[in-house]
Amino acid sequence: GELVAVFGGIELDISKAATKKEEIVIEANAVFGGIDLRVPDNWNVVMRGTGVFGGYEDRTLRSANVTGQPRVILTGGAVFGGVTVKN
């Protein structure tokens, strides 16, 4: 998937989503804006994004990474903006 916020914001709640895939990749880019993404409690989150005068933040409540649970990988960048993942 892909999320792009330029001079604005995105609030996306996929906390009720289900998948049979082992890995999901979402590219999230924020430029002078923000992205708030909410994922299911049982998904393992891997942050690979970069913040430049901004933030790329994982605020999920972590339990131990559970084998067999879906993994969501966030890539992209935040320039004068922010990307936040919560559950």
Tens of pLDDT, residues 10-24: 999 999 999 999 999
Residue 63 reports pLDDT greater than 60: no
Report how far residue 72's alpha carbon sits from residue 43's, in angstroms, rounded to the nearest whole number. 7
Q: Tell me the pTM.
A: 0.87
